[in-house]
Structure 1
Amino acid sequence: MLLKNLRPANDYDRFATETLEPWDMLFVARIRQLAREIPPGALADIGTATAVVPVRLAADPALADWSFIGVDLDPAMLEEGVPRIEALGLSSRIELKVGDALALPFEDGALAMAVSRATLHHLPDKALSLKEMFRVLRPGGIALVHDMRRDAPQALLDRFTRMRAEANYPPTHLEEKVTLDEARALVAEAGVDAFSTVFSPNAGLGAMGFEILLKKPVCA
């Protein structure tokens, strides 16, 4: 199950495209870097909401040979993203699909990449979501998760709270986030720790969160 966002879709879209842009750009840059390691294919953004991330990716010339799928449980969120996709002429490269992060709507080995930003903390079974992302990867495929840490530096948390307030958004709920050690434990619980890297940057905006990187072996 992927929990629905409690804010209206148009309200969330404004927040995602403006306030969350610095973290989106870090995420997109990391995806671009990883995409150079494998042949092009289909990339699914899990918990895509209004498809901000797929749009940023599809507009990147470096990813011209890739196709993109935005997956979210809430049809209203997906519908909010359609006008932007159409206005940019990206309808042929971005598919939107209603789907559950705990039972992804893909066959085994269907994707070259599965990515997710700021979604893991919403999920009632986080380890299962990681297991699902790994399942749908083709051999040699890559899964990337970025999310916020409960144990992030206080100065960064305070800065994020101010940014949310300026966007008329309430403070984030830290109790639903995980620590860096808990993220490592989730990977182990999912049974994919042998194929994973979990880390958090020491400085910059990225230090507010962590990265889970999964690489499916070619022989899997």
Structure 2
Amino acid sequence: MATAEQSDFKIADAASYDPHVEDFGRFSAVLTTPLARRLIALANISADQRVLDVGTGTGVVALEAAKAVSEEGHCIGIDLSEKMLEGATANARRANLTERLEFKLMDAESLQFEAASFDVVVSLFALLHFPDPATALKEMFRVLKPGGTLVVAVGSPPRWLSWLGIKHAVTLLPELISRLLGRRLVAPEFLNRLVQESIPAEDESEESSLARASRNRTRSVTTLLRDAGFENLRQHWEGHQATMKTPEDFWDIQRTFSTIARKRLNGATPDQVAKIRAKFDELCQRVLSRGGRLTYPFAAFFVAARRPLQS
């Protein structure tokens, strides 16, 4: 059972997105869709299957899942943010997918579904928002049918000592040089630093313990999955980088997706926000005047797993 502190965290975390639903949907449609499609490809959904999307947000993954099923299948997306679900429902309506897709307000750590009621469970970037990810994964295990497929993804670089990790580190060298020369700003570290300098944290609970533990979450996630009972783990990493054309978009995307920036700026005074924004714009314009770039790297560590047949 969740503690009062954990319940408060979940409610506050979900509510922190409410002022940013429009920007969340706008940027997710561009940045998250390629990762959502990769996740759905790893899930290998059949047309007649029942699919659950945990932490659906504005429904980017759920929409892709709904496209993969027929009238014989069905997809449900859950989230704790009512505003996000309103956006998701509107997106499903625009895509003409409401007959095979629905959304429910629900806590991932206490799923209101019967055991073994889904063929596939998917979750993109939600695991780091749960104060008790172990319980959330056990709930996903419970509602999966024996032999069912789970695919989760979290934001993370690849394993440090893997070939992919070494290759990724090498590709970052030119970007590091650009940063040292003052010709590149990188989200979300850039805005986070400005915010942390001006607005101290009220407590340590603005991020989940899993998010705080390490920037590289590959080992933590695979351990949690095995502990929950999943088997046949298959791993995949995919990274991209977007260049923001204007300081306005660079501000909006960081304020939307960075937990630290979003929560502290939400609670800041207008004067505090104005001062941070002025410094932000000044630094952005300085970089752009040198022919530099405003970049937003985004990546996902995917794990596909199975609930054993005998479980």
Q: Please give the range of the TM-score, normalised by the shorter of the 2 chains.
A: 0.7 to 0.9
Note the alpha carbon deviations across 1:37-93, whole angstroms, 9 max, x for none. x673210110112222212332x3x43353110101122211122222222221111
Note the alpha carbon deviations across 1:118-156, whole angstroms, 9 max, x for none. 100011111111111111011221111011127776749
Report deviation, 1:19.
4.7
Count of residue correspondences: 209
TM-score of the two chains, using structure 2 as the length reference: 0.56
Q: Are 2:309 and 1:212 aligned?
A: no
Task: Give the equivalent residue in structure 2 for 1:199.
Answer: 235
Task: Give the equivalent residue in structure 1 for 2:224.
Answer: 186
Task: Give the equivalent residue in structure 2 for 1:47.
Answer: 55
Instruction: Name the larger-Rg structure.
Output: 2
> Which ranges in structure 1 are unaligned for 5 or more consecutive residues?
none
Determine the C-alpha separation between the residues in 2 that align with 1:118 and 1:49: 10
Q: Is the CA contact (8 Å cut-off) linking 2:239 and 2:300 kept in structure 1?
A: no
2:130 to 107, 123, 133: 123
Determine the C-alpha separation between the residues in 1 that align with 2:158 and 2:16: 24
Point out the more displaced range, 20-29 or 125-134: 20-29
Check 1:52–1:30 CA distance in 2 against 1; reply closer, same or farther (3 A cut).
closer
Report deviation, 1:219.
3.3
Q: Is the CA contact (8 Å cut-off) linking 1:47 and 1:119 kept in structure 2?
A: yes
Q: Which amino acid aligns with 1:82?
A: T
Q: Is the CA contact (8 Å cut-off) linking 1:130 and 1:187 kept in structure 2?
A: yes
Q: Which amino acid aligns with 1:63?
A: V
Check 1:71–1:139 CA distance in 2 against 1; reply closer, same or farther (3 A cut).
same
What is the RMSD of the two structures over their aligned residues, measured on CA atoms? 3.6
Report deviation, 1:160.
10
Report deviation, 1:211.
1.8
Q: Are 2:36 and 1:27 aligned?
A: yes
Higher helix share: 2
Check 1:113–1:160 CA distance in 2 against 1; reply closer, same or farther (3 A cut).
farther
- What is the correspondence of 1:81-160 to structure 2 with a 5 Å cutoff? 81-149=88-156, 155=172
Q: Which amino acid aligns with 1:199?
A: Q
Check 1:15–1:24 CA distance in 2 against 1; reply closer, same or farther (3 A cut).
same
- What is the correspondence of 1:69-84 to structure 2 with a 5 Å cutoff? 69-84=76-91
Q: Is the CA contact (8 Å cut-off) linking 1:183 and 1:198 kept in structure 2?
A: no
- Name the SS of the counterpart of 1:210 in structure 2: strand
Q: Is the CA contact (8 Å cut-off) linking 1:187 and 1:196 kept in structure 2?
A: no
Determine the C-alpha separation between the residues in 2 that align with 1:52 and 1:164: 25
Percent of aligned pairs with the same amino acid: 25
- Name the SS of the counterpart of 2:140 in structure 1: helix
Determine the C-alpha separation between the residues in 1 that align with 2:189 and 2:24: 8
Q: Is the CA contact (8 Å cut-off) linking 2:119 and 2:148 kept in structure 1?
A: yes
Q: Is the CA contact (8 Å cut-off) linking 1:199 and 1:211 kept in structure 2?
A: yes
Q: Is the CA contact (8 Å cut-off) linking 2:124 and 2:153 kept in structure 1?
A: yes
Determine the C-alpha separation between the residues in 2 that align with 1:40 and 1:49: 24
- Name the SS of the counterpart of 2:148 in structure 1: strand
Q: Is the CA contact (8 Å cut-off) linking 2:43 and 2:151 kept in structure 1?
A: no
Check 1:57–1:218 CA distance in 2 against 1; reply closer, same or farther (3 A cut).
same
> Which ranges in structure 2 are unaligned for 5 or more consecutive residues?
1-6, 160-167, 197-206, 242-297
2:69 to 54, 63, 72: 63
Q: Is the CA contact (8 Å cut-off) linking 1:198 and 1:210 kept in structure 2?
A: no
Check 1:115–1:46 CA distance in 2 against 1; reply closer, same or farther (3 A cut).
same
- Name the SS of the counterpart of 2:14 in structure 1: coil
Check 1:84–1:215 CA distance in 2 against 1; reply closer, same or farther (3 A cut).
same
